[in-house]
């Protein structure tokens, strides 16, 4: 009787482990976040992209992701991994000045390694590691900086010459080594660089987009080869889109105000102006109504929906160019055919977003989301407690498999999965565990078991904790 009871109990516990999502072993909470810099959401319509298509078919796609203002690389990459708008995480631009620190930050000069720039936010890898897990980062902006006294468990120091293939290989190694990571972040510089140089409307961009699809294909292949394709939740996205510029749409500030009256902190299309001592009014008045293709904001008048006001690194005057316009001091500066940074509600500024994996629905398309919501979604997938953030898990919960209503995606034998199976599994698992423990405890209290099998207790205890 005792033996049979114990065997039945073990079987029920095993069933509960298999069928209860809350009890999933750690390897089921794996995530790889990939950013192809400047991959605009509608690039997918330009050329055949079989690898993006495969991900969308097997996973989820969000058509319009409203990223954070300003739509530049560093602010948006930090938003993705903190769930904070730029004013809250402090990386307000690619070029910044902090009046308290009296320091400048410039992506181009690579003086970005002082932790004080980054410490206003807590990146996902820090949260993940504080929860006892391991992370790996391949060139993600900020991932080679010591933030909150912590680096990712594994990371590559930024070096643009490291190939995409080598970055992928590192991540695969980290995911499959003896003490594997559960979180990986991967950054690639294209198609942003080509978008700036050629302009997004150029037919030459088609080849660049096809090449990125090929790189995604390489990543998928390597995940399959390593046997982790179906276990890793893969999110493929970007920081921003790209707008077509023209030499016919240039605003020259020197025509309106002397450059001796201010310091030019951040570049077009959202120019940050720091007026010289006592020159604020003069500079503002000279620029305010100077050109209808730009909007000049006093810091305190920046629209609330930009979430771009409450930080000392945001300069007293911000000039925002209208879509497709370039602001320069004069035409001696460098001109690009493509740029980003504009109003984050413009579709041209929106990034691609596709994702696939065990936690995500299959073949599901969502109209829109905010990029700040990605962070709580990733924390949920990783099963780590999120740091305070501006996102809302509820806004993107429908991307998760666990939320799929039975009617929205009826289970088909071909796909080999049921959308409500996890819920039923949870209930069944919980009922079996409770039932087994009830009988078990009853037997123990009746003293029908001479000694308590410690091994079984060890199996049962973590389950109970997980269930809570």
User: Distance between CA 415 and CA 57 in Å, rounded?
Assistant: 11
Structure tokens given for 256: 């309106």
User: Distance between CA 467 and CA 21 in Å, rounded?
Assistant: 10
Q: How far is the CB of 291 from Zn ion (least distance, A)?
A: 24
* 430-442 burial: b if 16+ Cβ within 10 Å, else e: bebbeebbeebee
| DSSP H or E stretch at residue 47 | none
Q: How far is the CB of 340 from Zn ion (least distance, A)?
A: 6
Q: Which residue in 73, 79, 82, 127 is the catalytic one?
A: 73
Binding mask 423-462 for Zn ion (x = CB under 5 A): ----------------------------------------
Q: How far is the CB of 192 from Zn ion (least distance, A)?
A: 4
User: Distance between CA 440 and CA 64 in Å, rounded?
Assistant: 53
Q: How far is the CB of 70 from Zn ion (least distance, A)?
A: 12
- Choose between 192 and 266: whose C-beta lies nearer to Zn ion: 192
- 266 is an interface residue for Zn ion by CB under 5 A: no
Closest by alpha carbon to 296, among 304, 285, 307, 305?
A: 285
* Residues written for the chain: 468
Distance from CA of residue 306 to its chain's centroid?
19
- Choose between 66 and 192: whose C-beta lies nearer to Zn ion: 192
User: Distance between CA 173 and CA 184 in Å, rounded?
Assistant: 11
Phi, psi of 184 (to 5 degrees): -130, 145
- Choose between 187 and 364: whose C-beta lies nearer to Zn ion: 187
- Choose between 192 and 213: whose C-beta lies nearer to Zn ion: 192
Q: How many C-beta atoms surround the C-beta of residue 24 within 10 A?
A: 16
Q: How far is the CB of 406 from Zn ion (least distance, A)?
A: 43
- Choose between 267 and 401: whose C-beta lies nearer to Zn ion: 267
- Choose between 120 and 192: whose C-beta lies nearer to Zn ion: 192
- 239 is an interface residue for Zn ion by CB under 5 A: no
Candidates 107-115, 188-196, 206-214, 286-294; binding stretch for Zn ion (CB under 5 A)? 188-196
Q: Is 104 a catalytic residue?
A: no
Closest by alpha carbon to 213, among 234, 185, 191, 240?
A: 191
Q: How far is the CB of 266 from Zn ion (least distance, A)?
A: 13
Q: How far is the CB of 240 from Zn ion (least distance, A)?
A: 7
Distance from CA of residue 219 to its chain's centroid?
18
| DSSP H or E stretch at residue 3 | helix 2-19
| Beta pairing, strands 183-188 & 262-266 | unpaired
- 213 is an interface residue for Zn ion by CB under 5 A: no
- Choose between 141 and 429: whose C-beta lies nearer to Zn ion: 141
Distance from CA of residue 2 to its chain's centroid?
52
Candidates 152-160, 189-197, 301-309, 415-423; binding stretch for Zn ion (CB under 5 A)? 189-197
Binding mask 127-146 for Zn ion (x = CB under 5 A): --------------------
Q: Long-range contacts made by residues 156-160, C-beta under 8 angstroms, separation at least 24? A: 158/110, 160/189
- Choose between 71 and 135: whose C-beta lies nearer to Zn ion: 71
Count of alpha carbons within 13 angstroms of residue 279, beta-carbon side: 15
Is the CB of residue 63 less than 8 Å from the CB of residue 264? no
Chain position whose Cβ is nearest to Zn ion: 192
Q: How far is the CB of 259 from Zn ion (least distance, A)?
A: 24
User: Distance between CA 440 and CA 12 in Å, rounded?
Assistant: 12
- Choose between 194 and 419: whose C-beta lies nearer to Zn ion: 194
Site for Zn ion in 402-421 (CB under 5 A): none
Is the CB of residue 97 less than 8 Å from the CB of residue 392? no
- 192 is an interface residue for Zn ion by CB under 5 A: yes
| DSSP H or E stretch at residue 250 | strand 250-252
Burial of 412 (0-12, 13-18, 19+ CB in 10 A): exposed
Candidates 185-193, 219-227, 344-352, 391-399; binding stretch for Zn ion (CB under 5 A)? 185-193
Q: How far is the CB of 343 from Zn ion (least distance, A)?
A: 16
Alpha-carbon torsion 309, 313, 319, 321, what sign? negative
Number of residues that bind Zn ion (CB under 5 A): 1
Beta bridge partners of 237: 35, 353
Using CB under 5 A, list all residues that contact Zn ion: 192
Active site residues per annotation: 73
């Amino acid at each position: 009787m005792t033996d049979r009871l114990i065997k039945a109990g073990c079987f029920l516990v095993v069933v509960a482990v298999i069928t209860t999502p809350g009890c999933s072993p750690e390897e089921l909470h794996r995530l790889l976040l990939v950013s192809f810099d400047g991959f605009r959401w509608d690039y997918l319509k330009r050329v055949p992209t079989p690898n993006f298509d495969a991900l969308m078919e097997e996973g989820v796609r969000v058509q319009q992701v409203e990223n954070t203002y300003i739509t530049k690389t560093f602010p948006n990459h930090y938003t993705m991994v903190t769930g904070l708008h730029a004013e809250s995480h402090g990386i307000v631009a690619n070029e910044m000045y902090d009046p308290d620190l009296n320091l400048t930050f410039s992506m181009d000069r690579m003086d970005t390694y002082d932790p004080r720039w980054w410490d206003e936010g807590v990146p996902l890898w820090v949260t993940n590691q504080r929860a006892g897990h391991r992370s790996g980062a391949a060139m993600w902006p900020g991932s080679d900086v010591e933030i909150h006294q912590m680096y990712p468990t594994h990371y590559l120091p930024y070096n643009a010459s490291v190939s995409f293939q080598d970055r992928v290989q590192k991540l695969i190694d980290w995911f499959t080594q003896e003490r594997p990571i559960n979180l990986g972040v991967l950054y690639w510089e294209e198609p942003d660089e080509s978008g700036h140089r050629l302009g997004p409307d150029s037919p030459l961009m088609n080849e660049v987009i096809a090449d990125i699809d090929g790189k995604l294909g390489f990543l998928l292949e390597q995940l399959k080869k390593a046997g982790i394709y179906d276990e890793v939740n893969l999110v493929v996205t970007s920081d921003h889109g790209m707008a077509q510029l023209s030499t016919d749409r240039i605003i020259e500030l020197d025509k309106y105000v002397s450059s001796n009256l201010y310091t030019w902190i951040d570049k077009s299309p959202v120019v940050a102006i720091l007026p010289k001592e006592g020159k604020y009014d003069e500079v503002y008045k000279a620029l305010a109504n100077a050109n209808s293709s730009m909007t000049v904001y006093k810091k305190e008048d920046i629209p609330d929906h930009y979430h771009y006001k409450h930080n000392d690194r945001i300069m007293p005057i911000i000039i925002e160019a209208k879509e497709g316009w370039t602001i320069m001091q004069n035409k001696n500066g460098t001109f690009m055919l493509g740029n980003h940074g504009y109003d984050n509600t413009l579709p041209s500024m929106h990034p691609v977003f596709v994702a696939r994996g065990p936690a995500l629905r299959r073949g599901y398309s969502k109209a829109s989301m905010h990029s700040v919501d990605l962070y709580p979604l990733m924390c949920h997938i990783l099963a780590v407690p999120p740091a305070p953030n501006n996102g809302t898990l509820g806004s993107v919960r429908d991307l998760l498999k666990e939320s799929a209503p039975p009617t929205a995606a009826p289970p088909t034998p071909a796909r080999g999965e049921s959308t409500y199976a996890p819920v039923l599994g949870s209930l069944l698992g919980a009922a079996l565990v409770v039932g087994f423990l009830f009988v078990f405890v009853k037997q123990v209290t009746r003293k029908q078991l001479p000694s308590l099998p410690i091994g079984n207790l060890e199996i049962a205890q973590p389950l109970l904790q997980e269930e809570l």
